[in-house]
Amino acid sequence: MKYPSIVFLSVAVAFFAISGIQDSQAESRTEKPSLRKSHPVSVVEADIYVNRAQTTMRLKCFAEDLELLQGVEALEDGFYDSEELLDATKDHAEYLAQRITIRDADGNLFKPKVTEIIDIEIPDEGIKAGMLMNYPMGFEIEFKYDRPPEFITVQQNMVAEGALLPSELKILLKQAGSDTPYMHMMKPGAPETFRFDWDKPILSTDASEKEWEVWFEEQREKNLGITSYSSVYSFIYITAYEVRHEVLIPLATLATLMDIERRDESFLDVDEQEAAARKIEQFFSIGNPVLIDSVEVQPVFDRVDFYGLDLRDFAVQAEKRRISMANGRVGVIMSYSTKGAPTEVEVTWDKFNNAIKSVDTVVFAYDKIEKTQFSMFLENNTFQWIAPARKPLPAIVDVSSTVDLDSLKPSMIQLPLVTTVFIALAVILLVASMMFRLDLRKTSIAGAVLVIAGLASFQFLPVEFPNPLAEKPKFELSNEDATQVFAQLHKNMFRAFDYQNESDVYDALAKSVDGELLRQLYLDINQSLKVKEQGGAIARVNEVNLLDGQKSRSSISTDDEMPEFDYACKWNLIGTIEHWGHIHERENKYDANFKIQLKDDAWKITEMQVNNEEQGVVKTSLRKF
């Protein structure tokens, strides 16, 4: 609002001017009754003053309401009975006290008490039939409470049988500590809720434009952007994974679109909400079509929640409790799956009636925000989004190794296989001749032949054997090099989830992870990003920061004799999730041990053991729109 103080002042002045004109007209009508024509609708003016201990409502109307709502009729002589008019005035006071209600945040009625009745000033000659519209009457009603209310809900149900138009209640409401009024015209059955900040009441009419801007922004932040309790809010999210439509609608408004079964007309109990939720899903399943890349997609209902006035953050799963029909609200989250990043999205709103004539919508398409409005007065109520050209995500590459693998091979001894066999046979023959007393001459000749044959075949089939006397090779990696390798692997591990298709995510993750850990890590991280208590939306990882790290060991694997090292590190992960224009940010901290091994000339994480995980407090902020 660009000039809030001027708007509020103009509204107030206009209202008082209208009231003054009507007062002056009422006086002139008393002198010249024939100048005012009868109307088929009852109009009651209410000045409502709300302080910390009670609400005082001063009502002003005309005596014709006694005819419309109390059944007073003129006598045969063409005049009204004066006593009947006075009695009907008292009855009308109780009628208004019962038909103009004020409820607390939970929907409970404040008990009314009629404290003053300003009777009709009946002239000595009486009031002629059809002239009651020229005579004003007034009432004062008090509503007391134990503590200053944050919310009050005003509702009127003045219904005249056979009236051509519904009765209207024109209210001017002020909070103690401020002279700036709220103004609203109320029709039967349409409640209106007002919020009061007792620490920072609404500013006075002489406040500057800058002061108004600051006050409005503070109230908007405090209520997370939900500032009207009778409006329908609509949020459309377009992401690489889904299209999501979130609708926040007053329960009283929803009741004008569909029948909500309940035992108590004023409340929807917990055991009745499940059936109501199913009916709401059925209602929103028909109509409001969503097309993604020219294909109509049916909604999946992530949530249908019922909220009271005290809940400001609708992204939090609401606790089950009885909800007031007068000031309760329903949050509906519908998701529409996409096959990859969408290129074109169309969302249509076609659910209008006398209670929903227009719906203001905020569209969050990736990082861009756009406002639109659906209206029953527009020919086209379809919002269309076409994806802008985007650069493809940079590829995730292997973390290659610069280790000289040849230098890590053990020292070998090379022996010719045939020569070794012949010499071994000669030795066996010599030992056998000594043990079994064989002919020494013959065995010596045979042994000599074997030795000569072995020496002659020295160049055939050489065989290498580890040198048992040589020192075993060692693999050493500096802490600086280990940190550099691990940091890239760790970064790639989370970057993999920037891709949309599951196969692309898995392939990207395989660039940094190997073995059984690859499958397990893919399942665990993919699932952890889908926060169930936040309506199944996908969390977005904004930052991954290594806080501390240290190489604890480097060696050669006994399994495949390839280099490996252990790394202990601490890191934080900052992620966000968003609903209803609210951004929920959480910072989680982790402490884990990793094993990194060289696989096919590239480093891979093959083991991970989390030692500790700390979930930070969720910080909620409001999108600027």
Predicted confidence (pLDDT) per residue in 83-142, tens digit: 999 999 999 999 999 999 999 999 999 999 999 999 999 898 889 998 998 999 999 999
- pLDDT level of residue 457 (50, 70, 90 thresholds): low
Q: What percent of the chain has pLDDT over 90?
A: 42
- The pLDDT assigned to 175 comes to 93
Higher-scoring residue by pLDDT: 117, 4 = 117
How far apart CA 438 and CA 436 sit, in angstroms, is 6
504-524 pLDDT, tens per residue? 888 888 999 998 888 888 787
pLDDT at 20 over 50: no
Average pLDDT along the chain: 82
pLDDT tens digits for range 248-277: 999 999 999 999 999 999 999 999 999 999
Which domains does the chain show, CATH number per domain? Answer: 4-206 (no CATH), 233-386 (no CATH), 410-466 (no CATH), 474-622 (3.10.450.540)
Asked if the model's pLDDT at residue 418 lies above 70, the reply is no
What does the alpha-carbon distance between residue 510 and residue 493 come to, in Å, rounded to a whole number? 9
The per-residue pLDDT for 366 is 86
Q: Over 70: is that where the pLDDT of 30 sits?
A: no
More confident residue, 576 or 164: 576
**For residue 484, pLDDT beyond 60:** yes
Contact 465, 415 (CB under 8 A): yes
Select the more confidently predicted residue: 158 or 91.
91
Average pLDDT over residues 389-396: 79
Mind listing the pLDDT tens digit for each residue in 541-583?
788 889 999 988 888 777 767 888 999 999 998 888 877 777 8
Distance CA 573, CA 545 (A): 7
Predicted confidence (pLDDT) at residue 29 exceeds the cutoff of 50: no
Roughly what angle, to the nearest 10 degrees, separates helices 417-436 and 440-456?
A: 170
pLDDT in tens, 573-607: 888 887 777 787 888 899 999 998 988 888 999 99
Residue 531 has pLDDT above 70, yes or no: no
Side chain identity at residue 397, one-letter code: V
Above 80 in pLDDT, residue 483?
yes
How many angstroms separate the CA atoms of 506 and 503, rounded?
A: 5
How far apart (Å, rounded) are the C-alpha atoms in residues 491 and 495?
6
Please name the residue ranges forming H helices in 398-439.
417-436
What does the DSSP 8-state code read for residue 496? G
Nearest CA to 135 out of 76, 185, 58, 67 is that of 67
